[in-house]
Amino acid sequence: MIRPETPQQLAEALRMLAGEHRSIRMGGNFTKDRLGGPTTAAAETLTTAGLRRLLQYEPQDLTVSVEAGMPFAELQRTLAEKGQMLPLDPFTGPGWESATVGGVLGANLSGPRRRLYGTARDMVIGMTFATLEGKLVQTGGMVVKNVAGLDMGKLMIGSFGTLAAITSVNFKVFPVPLFSRTFVMEFPTVSKAFSERDRILKGQLPPAAIDVVNDSRGCRLLVRATGNQQVVDRFSADLAQARSSEGEEESAVWHEVREFTPRFLAANPEGGVAMIRTPLASMGAEMERLKVPCIARAGSGVIYAHYAADPPPTQVHDESGMMKKIKLMFDPENLMNRGRLHGYV
């Protein structure tokens, strides 16, 4: 395995491998492979996990710059020391804490708080990536509005390492909210949970997270309220029948959500997870139809369905062929992460 320790070494490794026409499996700590779905067979494996420095942290400006191989959990700990955070919530559990910043962006990971904060694309303000030509390309910067021209960094987010290797990322970060409370409600059916979701989403205050979990323990609606004391108290009055928690007890509720997939995969080594995007109005019906353990980001239209055997592959819709053209510009010989995205590479 090739493990460069500087951006220049990474760019040089890519240039050399491309010059030799060698296919490349590129990643961080390769935790994604445990999710099932397509894996990449290649002549050479290249990891960005050796690039792990904190480059710049400006708590006053709410910005931070790190190398792509830094474990996401380490970045989160650094921010927490200053009362700040990145609300992306990667999976947790044995083996998953090693997920790198580059891997989180490569998979465009988002978690329960997506409803309020958006996804990585809303948090990245700058990036440097290394191409197969051996160039380091810098895009954006350290201020929130600074992209003139095409925002190339956004292209890398969710590209599953099929275009280039991210070497460093600049984020805008967020203060940890002063107050946070989570409400858990149990329902006899999925449709009843989604009726309650509809009622909450029509309310005037947006929840920070709203998930539906459906598994052998039944169907639960989880609602997280954050902000000032009045906001949290208004949710308490509105959801008086729910079980509410704060502090460590609340962290345990969301820890369980972040562990849901890793625990399922540990119990089902042949299994995998399919991500299903659905309009909010049809999420309940879709989740009932699935008949497998599921977690829904109930305010964002995403369902994670957990299959005991390999899930159906995600097909990329690229009718215009534009994605393929972009891929060919970066990687004309289709060397990087072959087979990662069906219908595209």
Ligand X SMILES: Cc1cc2nc3c(=O)[nH]c(=O)nc-3n(C[C@H](O)[C@H](O)[C@H](O)COP(=O)(O)OP(=O)(O)OC[C@H]3O[C@@H](n4cnc5c(N)ncnc54)[C@H](O)[C@@H]3O)c2cc1C
Q: Of residues 26-55, which lie at the interface with ligand X (CB under 6 A)?
A: 26-32, 35, 48
Other CB atoms within 10 Å distance of the CB of residue 232:
20
Nearer to ligand X, 92 or 242 (CB): 92
By CB under 6 A, name the one of 42, 109, 212, 225 that touches ligand X: 109
CA distance 235 to 166: 40
Listed ranges 160-168, 171-179, 206-214, 242-250: which one lies at the site for ligand X (CB under 6 A)? 160-168
Q: Considering beta carbons, is residue 59 or 93 the nearer one to ligand X? A: 93
The closest alpha carbon to 18, from 137, 133, 120, 185, belongs to 133
Q: Is residue 170 at the binding interface for ligand X, with CB under 6 A as the rule?
A: no
- Cβ proximity of 35 and 110 under 8 Å: no
Task: Please tell me whether residue 4 binds ligand X under the rule CB under 6 A.
Answer: no
- What's the CA gap between 298 and 203, in Å, rounded? 15
Least gap, CB of 86 to ligand X (angstroms): 13
Closest-CA residue to 142 (of 170, 105, 101, 102): 170
Q: Is 62 left (phi over 0), alpha (psi -120 to 50) or beta?
A: left
242 part of the interface to ligand X, by CB under 6 A:
no
Q: Which is nearer to ligand X, 245 or 261 (CB)?
A: 261
Cβ closest to ligand X, residue 112 vs residue 177: 112
- Is residue 106 within the footprint of ligand X (CB under 6 A)? yes
Judge contact between 207 and 111, C-beta under 8 A. Answer: no
Residues that bind ligand X (CB under 6 A): 26-32, 35, 48, 68, 90-91, 99-100, 102-104, 106-107, 109, 111, 160-161, 165-166, 275, 337, 340
